[in-house]
Structure 1
Amino acid sequence: MKDYYEILGVSRNATKEEIKRAYRELAMKYHPDRNKSPEAEEKFKEISEAYAVLSDDQKRAEYDRWGHAGFTGRYSAEDLLRDFDFGLFRDFGFADLDRIFDIFFGRGGRREGRDLAAEVEVGLEEVAFGGEREVEVERGEECPSCSGSGAAPGGWRSCRSCGGTGWREFTRSLGSLFTSVRTSCPECGGSGRVVVRPCGECGGSGRVVRRKRVRVRIPPG
Protein backbone atom coordinates (compact mmCIF):
# COMPACT_ATOMS: atom_id res chain seq x y z
CA MET A 1 0.00 0.00 0.00
CA LYS A 2 1.45 3.37 -1.04
CA ASP A 3 1.94 5.79 1.85
CA TYR A 4 1.90 9.59 1.79
CA TYR A 5 5.70 9.89 1.67
CA GLU A 6 5.81 7.63 -1.39
CA ILE A 7 2.94 9.52 -3.03
CA LEU A 8 4.92 12.79 -2.80
CA GLY A 9 8.25 11.08 -3.49
CA VAL A 10 9.97 12.36 -0.33
CA SER A 11 11.86 10.66 2.49
CA ARG A 12 10.31 10.18 5.93
CA ASN A 13 12.62 12.85 7.39
CA ALA A 14 11.90 15.40 4.65
CA THR A 15 11.65 19.04 5.74
CA LYS A 16 8.48 21.09 5.31
CA GLU A 17 10.12 22.99 2.46
CA GLU A 18 11.03 19.75 0.67
CA ILE A 19 7.47 18.48 1.09
CA LYS A 20 6.00 21.72 -0.24
CA ARG A 21 8.40 21.72 -3.22
CA ALA A 22 7.51 18.12 -4.09
CA TYR A 23 3.80 18.87 -3.80
CA ARG A 24 4.08 21.95 -6.02
CA GLU A 25 5.79 19.96 -8.78
CA LEU A 26 3.16 17.23 -8.66
CA ALA A 27 0.26 19.72 -8.43
CA MET A 28 1.51 21.49 -11.55
CA LYS A 29 1.75 18.11 -13.30
CA TYR A 30 -1.63 16.67 -12.32
CA HIS A 31 -3.92 19.69 -12.03
CA PRO A 32 -6.94 18.71 -14.18
CA ASP A 33 -6.85 22.04 -16.05
CA ARG A 34 -3.35 21.12 -17.27
CA ASN A 35 -3.57 17.34 -17.41
CA LYS A 36 -6.53 15.91 -19.34
CA SER A 37 -5.89 12.23 -18.58
CA PRO A 38 -8.82 10.43 -16.87
CA GLU A 39 -6.69 9.69 -13.79
CA ALA A 40 -5.42 13.25 -13.27
CA GLU A 41 -8.23 14.46 -11.01
CA GLU A 42 -7.96 11.49 -8.66
CA LYS A 43 -4.16 11.76 -8.62
CA PHE A 44 -4.42 15.49 -7.87
CA LYS A 45 -6.69 14.76 -4.92
CA GLU A 46 -4.35 11.98 -3.72
CA ILE A 47 -1.24 14.18 -3.67
CA SER A 48 -3.22 17.00 -2.03
CA GLU A 49 -4.38 14.64 0.71
CA ALA A 50 -0.78 13.54 1.26
CA TYR A 51 0.38 17.16 1.47
CA ALA A 52 -2.45 18.11 3.85
CA VAL A 53 -1.18 15.49 6.30
CA LEU A 54 2.60 15.82 5.94
CA SER A 55 2.58 19.63 6.03
CA ASP A 56 0.71 19.62 9.35
CA ASP A 57 2.96 18.82 12.33
CA GLN A 58 0.23 17.20 14.43
CA LYS A 59 -1.24 15.10 11.62
CA ARG A 60 2.22 14.06 10.45
CA ALA A 61 3.12 12.90 13.98
CA GLU A 62 -0.11 10.89 14.17
CA TYR A 63 0.57 9.42 10.72
CA ASP A 64 4.10 8.39 11.69
CA ARG A 65 2.80 6.84 14.91
CA TRP A 66 -0.19 4.92 13.52
CA GLY A 67 1.02 4.13 10.00
CA HIS A 68 -0.97 4.56 6.80
CA ALA A 69 -3.72 2.01 7.48
CA GLY A 70 -4.23 3.11 11.09
CA PHE A 71 -4.30 6.82 10.22
CA THR A 72 -6.60 6.62 7.19
CA GLY A 73 -8.95 4.38 9.15
CA ARG A 74 -9.55 7.28 11.52
CA TYR A 75 -10.03 10.07 8.96
CA SER A 76 -11.75 10.33 5.59
CA ALA A 77 -10.09 12.20 2.73
CA GLU A 78 -12.65 14.98 3.16
CA ASP A 79 -11.78 15.28 6.87
CA LEU A 80 -8.11 15.81 5.98
CA LEU A 81 -8.69 18.24 3.13
CA ARG A 82 -10.98 20.49 5.20
CA ASP A 83 -7.87 22.00 6.80
CA PHE A 84 -6.13 22.57 3.47
CA ASP A 85 -4.66 26.04 2.82
CA PHE A 86 -6.47 26.93 -0.41
CA GLY A 87 -4.44 30.13 -0.68
CA LEU A 88 -1.53 27.89 -1.67
CA PHE A 89 -3.07 27.38 -5.11
CA ARG A 90 -3.16 31.11 -5.67
CA ASP A 91 0.61 31.11 -5.11
CA PHE A 92 0.89 28.29 -7.67
CA GLY A 93 -0.99 30.38 -10.26
CA PHE A 94 -4.34 28.55 -10.16
CA ALA A 95 -7.05 31.22 -10.09
CA ASP A 96 -10.12 28.95 -10.21
CA LEU A 97 -10.26 27.90 -6.56
CA ASP A 98 -13.91 26.91 -6.89
CA ARG A 99 -12.84 24.22 -9.36
CA ILE A 100 -10.31 22.87 -6.84
CA PHE A 101 -12.90 22.97 -4.08
CA ASP A 102 -15.24 20.89 -6.26
CA ILE A 103 -12.48 18.33 -6.89
CA PHE A 104 -11.77 17.99 -3.17
CA PHE A 105 -15.31 17.89 -1.84
CA GLY A 106 -17.57 17.21 -4.85
CA ARG A 107 -20.26 19.70 -3.86
CA GLY A 108 -23.61 18.08 -3.81
CA GLY A 109 -22.12 14.62 -4.24
CA ARG A 110 -22.16 11.65 -1.92
CA ARG A 111 -19.15 11.14 0.31
CA GLU A 112 -17.50 7.81 -0.40
CA GLY A 113 -16.27 5.67 2.45
CA ARG A 114 -12.89 4.08 2.53
CA ASP A 115 -12.34 0.42 1.81
CA LEU A 116 -11.75 -1.72 4.88
CA ALA A 117 -8.71 -4.00 4.86
CA ALA A 118 -7.60 -6.85 7.10
CA GLU A 119 -4.79 -9.40 6.92
CA VAL A 120 -6.04 -12.99 7.19
CA GLU A 121 -3.98 -16.17 7.32
CA VAL A 122 -5.58 -18.89 5.19
CA GLY A 123 -4.91 -22.59 4.85
CA LEU A 124 -4.01 -24.43 1.66
CA GLU A 125 -7.55 -25.76 1.28
CA GLU A 126 -9.01 -22.26 1.45
CA VAL A 127 -6.43 -21.05 -1.07
CA ALA A 128 -7.41 -23.82 -3.47
CA PHE A 129 -11.18 -23.89 -3.04
CA GLY A 130 -12.06 -20.59 -1.38
CA GLY A 131 -14.36 -20.16 1.59
CA GLU A 132 -15.69 -17.69 4.14
CA ARG A 133 -14.07 -16.28 7.25
CA GLU A 134 -15.18 -13.93 10.02
CA VAL A 135 -12.63 -11.17 10.62
CA GLU A 136 -12.38 -8.16 12.91
CA VAL A 137 -11.78 -4.77 11.31
CA GLU A 138 -11.35 -1.22 12.56
CA ARG A 139 -13.36 1.60 11.08
CA GLY A 140 -13.66 5.29 11.83
CA GLU A 141 -17.12 6.54 12.79
CA GLU A 142 -18.66 9.84 13.81
CA CYS A 143 -18.13 10.41 17.52
CA PRO A 144 -21.46 9.89 19.33
CA SER A 145 -20.58 12.28 22.16
CA CYS A 146 -20.04 15.38 20.01
CA SER A 147 -21.90 14.29 16.83
CA GLY A 148 -18.69 14.73 14.86
CA SER A 149 -18.05 18.34 15.87
CA GLY A 150 -14.91 17.54 17.90
CA ALA A 151 -15.95 19.94 20.68
CA ALA A 152 -17.15 19.44 24.22
CA PRO A 153 -20.49 21.12 25.05
CA GLY A 154 -19.92 24.88 24.79
CA GLY A 155 -16.34 24.27 23.65
CA TRP A 156 -16.49 26.52 20.58
CA ARG A 157 -15.47 30.06 19.73
CA SER A 158 -15.99 32.12 16.61
CA CYS A 159 -13.23 31.65 14.04
CA ARG A 160 -10.93 34.68 14.03
CA SER A 161 -9.55 33.91 10.58
CA CYS A 162 -12.90 34.35 8.80
CA GLY A 163 -14.79 36.34 11.45
CA GLY A 164 -17.28 33.53 11.91
CA THR A 165 -18.51 33.57 8.31
CA GLY A 166 -17.01 30.21 7.39
CA TRP A 167 -15.43 31.54 4.19
CA ARG A 168 -12.54 33.66 3.02
CA GLU A 169 -12.25 35.81 -0.06
CA PHE A 170 -9.15 36.10 -2.24
CA THR A 171 -8.70 38.87 -4.79
CA ARG A 172 -6.44 38.34 -7.80
CA SER A 173 -5.22 41.02 -10.17
CA LEU A 174 -5.27 40.24 -13.90
CA GLY A 175 -3.91 43.41 -15.46
CA SER A 176 -6.59 46.04 -14.98
CA LEU A 177 -9.15 43.44 -13.91
CA PHE A 178 -9.66 42.00 -10.46
CA THR A 179 -11.27 38.66 -9.76
CA SER A 180 -12.59 37.66 -6.37
CA VAL A 181 -12.82 34.03 -5.28
CA ARG A 182 -14.64 32.90 -2.16
CA THR A 183 -13.51 29.63 -0.56
CA SER A 184 -14.20 27.67 2.58
CA CYS A 185 -12.08 28.97 5.47
CA PRO A 186 -9.13 26.57 6.00
CA GLU A 187 -8.91 27.50 9.69
CA CYS A 188 -12.43 26.36 10.65
CA GLY A 189 -13.27 24.13 7.67
CA GLY A 190 -16.21 26.34 6.72
CA SER A 191 -18.05 26.03 10.03
CA GLY A 192 -17.26 29.55 11.25
CA ARG A 193 -16.24 28.13 14.62
CA VAL A 194 -13.12 26.52 16.08
CA VAL A 195 -12.77 24.09 18.95
CA VAL A 196 -11.33 25.52 22.17
CA ARG A 197 -12.34 22.62 24.44
CA PRO A 198 -12.05 19.25 22.67
CA CYS A 199 -14.50 16.42 23.14
CA GLY A 200 -13.25 14.02 25.81
CA GLU A 201 -14.20 10.89 23.86
CA CYS A 202 -12.63 11.61 20.46
CA GLY A 203 -9.95 14.11 21.55
CA GLY A 204 -11.25 16.76 19.13
CA SER A 205 -11.07 14.72 15.91
CA GLY A 206 -14.84 14.23 15.69
CA ARG A 207 -14.31 10.55 14.94
CA VAL A 208 -13.78 7.39 16.97
CA VAL A 209 -12.47 3.97 15.99
CA ARG A 210 -14.80 1.00 16.42
CA ARG A 211 -13.98 -2.67 15.99
CA LYS A 212 -16.48 -4.72 14.04
CA ARG A 213 -16.70 -8.38 13.02
CA VAL A 214 -17.63 -9.03 9.39
CA ARG A 215 -17.82 -12.11 7.18
CA VAL A 216 -15.61 -12.05 4.11
CA ARG A 217 -15.48 -14.36 1.12
CA ILE A 218 -12.10 -15.85 0.22
CA PRO A 219 -11.99 -16.43 -3.55
CA PRO A 220 -10.36 -19.66 -4.78
CA GLY A 221 -6.87 -19.46 -6.25
Structure 2
Amino acid sequence: MRSLHTLACVALCLALMVGSAMGEDLYKTLGVSRSASQREIKKGYHKMSMKYHPDKNDTPEAMEKFTQATRAYEILSDDELKPIYDRQGMPGIERKEKQGQNQGGGHPFGGMFGNMFGQQMQQKGQQQKQRGAPITLHVPVSLEDAYSGVSRHVDVLKRVICPGCGGTGAHSHSDVKTCTRCSGTGQVTERRQLGPGIVQTVNQPCS
Protein backbone atom coordinates (compact mmCIF):
# COMPACT_ATOMS: atom_id res chain seq x y z
CA MET A 1 0.00 0.00 0.00
CA ARG A 2 2.82 2.36 0.84
CA SER A 3 4.46 1.81 -2.56
CA LEU A 4 1.16 2.46 -4.34
CA HIS A 5 0.69 5.64 -2.32
CA THR A 6 4.23 6.74 -3.23
CA LEU A 7 3.62 6.08 -6.92
CA ALA A 8 0.38 8.07 -6.76
CA CYS A 9 2.19 11.02 -5.18
CA VAL A 10 4.92 10.89 -7.81
CA ALA A 11 2.34 10.79 -10.61
CA LEU A 12 0.53 13.76 -9.09
CA CYS A 13 3.75 15.75 -8.81
CA LEU A 14 4.66 14.97 -12.41
CA ALA A 15 1.21 16.07 -13.56
CA LEU A 16 1.55 19.34 -11.67
CA MET A 17 5.02 19.90 -13.13
CA VAL A 18 3.79 19.27 -16.68
CA GLY A 19 0.80 21.53 -16.15
CA SER A 20 3.05 24.28 -14.81
CA ALA A 21 5.42 23.93 -17.75
CA MET A 22 2.57 24.05 -20.25
CA GLY A 23 1.31 27.29 -18.73
CA GLU A 24 -2.32 28.37 -18.73
CA ASP A 25 -4.93 25.98 -20.15
CA LEU A 26 -6.47 27.83 -23.10
CA TYR A 27 -9.09 25.15 -23.59
CA LYS A 28 -10.20 25.58 -19.99
CA THR A 29 -10.28 29.34 -20.51
CA LEU A 30 -12.88 28.86 -23.26
CA GLY A 31 -14.72 26.13 -21.36
CA VAL A 32 -14.08 23.40 -23.96
CA SER A 33 -12.22 20.08 -24.04
CA ARG A 34 -8.83 19.55 -25.69
CA SER A 35 -10.56 17.49 -28.38
CA ALA A 36 -12.96 20.33 -29.24
CA SER A 37 -13.57 21.14 -32.90
CA GLN A 38 -13.07 24.61 -34.36
CA ARG A 39 -16.82 25.12 -34.23
CA GLU A 40 -16.90 24.25 -30.52
CA ILE A 41 -13.90 26.51 -29.85
CA LYS A 42 -15.62 29.40 -31.61
CA LYS A 43 -18.84 28.72 -29.72
CA GLY A 44 -16.94 28.66 -26.42
CA TYR A 45 -15.29 32.00 -27.21
CA HIS A 46 -18.61 33.61 -28.10
CA LYS A 47 -20.07 32.35 -24.83
CA MET A 48 -17.20 33.82 -22.81
CA SER A 49 -17.23 37.11 -24.74
CA MET A 50 -20.96 37.51 -24.14
CA LYS A 51 -20.43 36.82 -20.43
CA TYR A 52 -17.35 38.96 -19.76
CA HIS A 53 -17.44 41.73 -22.37
CA PRO A 54 -16.93 45.08 -20.57
CA ASP A 55 -20.08 46.49 -22.17
CA LYS A 56 -22.14 43.78 -20.47
CA ASN A 57 -20.12 43.05 -17.35
CA ASP A 58 -18.65 45.84 -15.23
CA THR A 59 -17.06 43.66 -12.55
CA PRO A 60 -13.32 44.17 -11.95
CA GLU A 61 -12.41 40.70 -13.26
CA ALA A 62 -14.50 40.96 -16.45
CA MET A 63 -11.85 42.74 -18.51
CA GLU A 64 -9.17 40.21 -17.51
CA LYS A 65 -11.46 37.26 -18.31
CA PHE A 66 -12.43 38.80 -21.65
CA THR A 67 -8.79 39.44 -22.56
CA GLN A 68 -7.81 35.88 -21.64
CA ALA A 69 -10.67 34.44 -23.71
CA THR A 70 -9.71 36.57 -26.72
CA ARG A 71 -6.06 35.52 -26.42
CA ALA A 72 -7.06 31.85 -26.15
CA TYR A 73 -9.30 32.06 -29.20
CA GLU A 74 -6.61 33.78 -31.29
CA ILE A 75 -4.25 30.87 -30.62
CA LEU A 76 -6.67 27.93 -30.80
CA SER A 77 -8.32 29.19 -33.99
CA ASP A 78 -4.98 29.60 -35.78
CA ASP A 79 -3.96 26.62 -37.94
CA GLU A 80 -0.27 27.26 -37.23
CA LEU A 81 -0.34 28.21 -33.54
CA LYS A 82 -2.79 25.57 -32.30
CA PRO A 83 -0.53 22.55 -33.06
CA ILE A 84 2.37 24.35 -31.38
CA TYR A 85 0.28 24.97 -28.26
CA ASP A 86 -1.00 21.38 -28.20
CA ARG A 87 2.58 20.04 -28.24
CA GLN A 88 4.52 22.64 -26.26
CA GLY A 89 1.99 24.78 -24.40
CA MET A 90 2.40 28.51 -23.87
CA PRO A 91 6.24 28.31 -23.78
CA GLY A 92 6.10 27.14 -27.40
CA ILE A 93 3.80 30.03 -28.34
CA GLU A 94 6.12 32.51 -26.64
CA ARG A 95 9.13 31.12 -28.51
CA LYS A 96 7.21 31.36 -31.79
CA GLU A 97 6.32 35.00 -31.10
CA LYS A 98 9.92 35.86 -30.22
CA GLN A 99 11.12 34.28 -33.46
CA GLY A 100 8.65 36.41 -35.40
CA GLN A 101 9.86 39.57 -33.65
CA ASN A 102 13.50 38.73 -34.38
CA GLN A 103 12.79 38.07 -38.04
CA GLY A 104 10.82 41.29 -38.37
CA GLY A 105 13.46 43.48 -36.73
CA GLY A 106 15.79 45.72 -38.67
CA HIS A 107 19.40 44.80 -39.37
CA PRO A 108 21.92 47.04 -37.60
CA PHE A 109 23.97 47.35 -40.78
CA GLY A 110 21.00 48.08 -43.03
CA GLY A 111 21.86 51.75 -43.40
CA MET A 112 25.53 51.06 -44.20
CA PHE A 113 24.85 48.62 -47.02
CA GLY A 114 21.59 50.16 -48.19
CA ASN A 115 23.20 52.30 -50.88
CA MET A 116 25.59 49.59 -52.03
CA PHE A 117 22.84 47.05 -52.67
CA GLY A 118 19.98 49.45 -53.30
CA GLN A 119 19.93 48.79 -57.01
CA GLN A 120 19.66 45.02 -56.58
CA MET A 121 16.84 45.37 -54.07
CA GLN A 122 15.03 47.79 -56.36
CA GLN A 123 15.20 45.33 -59.24
CA LYS A 124 13.83 42.54 -57.08
CA GLY A 125 10.98 44.78 -55.94
CA GLN A 126 10.09 45.61 -59.51
CA GLN A 127 9.90 41.92 -60.38
CA GLN A 128 7.33 41.27 -57.67
CA LYS A 129 3.72 41.20 -58.72
CA GLN A 130 1.93 44.45 -57.97
CA ARG A 131 -1.22 44.24 -55.89
CA GLY A 132 -4.16 46.59 -55.98
CA ALA A 133 -5.42 48.66 -53.09
CA PRO A 134 -7.53 46.80 -50.50
CA ILE A 135 -11.30 47.04 -50.86
CA THR A 136 -13.04 48.44 -47.77
CA LEU A 137 -16.75 47.90 -47.20
CA HIS A 138 -18.92 49.27 -44.40
CA VAL A 139 -21.44 46.61 -43.40
CA PRO A 140 -23.75 47.52 -40.48
CA VAL A 141 -24.16 44.79 -37.87
CA SER A 142 -26.05 44.62 -34.61
CA LEU A 143 -24.31 44.34 -31.24
CA GLU A 144 -25.54 40.76 -30.90
CA ASP A 145 -24.12 39.81 -34.31
CA ALA A 146 -20.78 41.43 -33.41
CA TYR A 147 -20.52 39.20 -30.33
CA SER A 148 -21.87 35.94 -31.73
CA GLY A 149 -20.60 36.25 -35.33
CA VAL A 150 -22.57 36.41 -38.56
CA SER A 151 -21.99 35.59 -42.24
CA ARG A 152 -23.34 37.84 -44.97
CA HIS A 153 -23.12 37.90 -48.77
CA VAL A 154 -22.37 41.29 -50.31
CA ASP A 155 -21.88 42.46 -53.90
CA VAL A 156 -18.57 44.19 -54.58
CA LEU A 157 -17.59 46.31 -57.57
CA LYS A 158 -13.88 46.16 -58.35
CA ARG A 159 -11.53 47.05 -61.17
CA VAL A 160 -10.17 44.15 -63.21
CA ILE A 161 -7.51 43.95 -65.90
CA CYS A 162 -8.93 44.15 -69.40
CA PRO A 163 -8.65 40.66 -70.97
CA GLY A 164 -8.25 42.18 -74.44
CA CYS A 165 -5.20 44.37 -73.85
CA GLY A 166 -3.92 42.99 -70.54
CA GLY A 167 -4.14 46.45 -68.98
CA THR A 168 -1.75 48.08 -71.46
CA GLY A 169 -4.41 50.03 -73.35
CA ALA A 170 -2.94 48.91 -76.69
CA HIS A 171 -4.91 47.22 -79.45
CA SER A 172 -2.23 44.54 -79.95
CA HIS A 173 1.16 43.52 -78.58
CA SER A 174 2.87 45.03 -81.60
CA ASP A 175 1.62 48.47 -80.51
CA VAL A 176 3.44 48.21 -77.16
CA LYS A 177 6.85 49.88 -77.18
CA THR A 178 9.31 49.40 -74.33
CA CYS A 179 10.91 52.58 -73.01
CA THR A 180 14.61 52.53 -73.83
CA ARG A 181 15.48 54.60 -70.77
CA CYS A 182 13.82 52.60 -67.98
CA SER A 183 13.09 49.33 -69.83
CA GLY A 184 9.43 49.67 -68.94
CA THR A 185 9.90 49.76 -65.17
CA GLY A 186 8.91 53.41 -64.77
CA GLN A 187 11.97 54.05 -62.60
CA VAL A 188 15.42 55.32 -63.54
CA THR A 189 18.30 54.30 -61.28
CA GLU A 190 21.35 56.54 -61.05
CA ARG A 191 24.54 55.65 -59.19
CA ARG A 192 26.74 58.46 -57.98
CA GLN A 193 30.33 58.09 -56.79
CA LEU A 194 30.60 60.27 -53.68
CA GLY A 195 34.08 59.15 -52.71
CA PRO A 196 36.40 56.15 -52.46
CA GLY A 197 34.14 53.16 -51.80
CA ILE A 198 31.07 55.36 -51.28
CA VAL A 199 28.29 54.96 -53.84
CA GLN A 200 24.88 56.60 -53.67
CA THR A 201 21.92 55.06 -55.50
CA VAL A 202 19.06 57.37 -56.49
CA ASN A 203 15.78 56.15 -57.98
CA GLN A 204 13.70 58.66 -59.92
CA PRO A 205 10.48 58.37 -61.94
CA CYS A 206 11.09 58.01 -65.66
CA SER A 207 9.93 61.01 -67.64
Q: The TM-score by the shorter chain falls in which range?
A: 0.3 to 0.5
> Which of 1 and 2 has greater Rg?
2
TM-score (ref. length: structure 1)? 0.39
Structure with the larger RCO, 1 or 2 (CA within 8 Å, 6+ apart): 1
TM-score scaled to structure 2, two decimals? 0.41
Report the structure, 1 or 2, having the larger strand content.
1
